[in-house]
Homo-oligomer: A and B are copies of this chain.
Amino acid sequence: MINAMIDTVKIAKALSDPVRHKIMLMLAQNNQECCPVPGEVEGKTGLCNCEIMAKLGMIQSRVSYHMKELVEAGIVAEEPRGKWKMYFIKTKTLNQFLEQLRADFKLD
């Protein structure tokens, strides 16, 4: 499979909102408590929408909006689990993002 082009501006924008940053931290910590079937993608377990709502104390449509932004930026994967939806951090894409920045800005 050919690597998708990394849109660094788009990913940076996804990470530039405090709510989404918190969500990413949560996803990275592999927490999952409320959903019956823990998911696994790239060796990581995921979170469902309901748990994110609970942890952040935010209403459903707000969480849904931000999850969509993260998915569209390509740094979060989603997978339906019955009427739930599990979200997973896309480690590979984030690594590519960092590599791209490293190359663009000539870092070490």
User: A residues bordering B, Cβ < 8 Å?
Assistant: 8-9, 12-13, 15-18, 21, 24-25, 28, 89, 91, 94-95, 98, 101-102, 104-108
Q: Which residue in B17, B89, B108 is a CB contact (below 8 Å) of A95?
A: B108
Whether the Cβ atoms of A105 and B24 lie closer than 8 Å is yes
CA–CA, A9 and B14, complex, Å: 10
CB distance from A53 to the nearest CB of B (A): 21
Most buried by B among A12, A18, A89, A102: A12
Smallest CB-CB separation from A20: which chain B residue? B9
CB distance from A28 to the nearest CB of B (A): 5
Smallest CB-CB separation from A91: which chain B residue? B107
Whether the Cβ atoms of A102 and B98 lie closer than 8 Å is yes
Q: Which residue in B16, B95, B108 is a CB contact (below 8 Å) of A12?
A: B16
CA–CA, A17 and B9, complex, Å: 6
Whether the Cβ atoms of A28 and B102 lie closer than 8 Å is no
Smallest CB-CB separation from A27: which chain B residue? B105
CA–CA, A101 and B96, complex, Å: 12
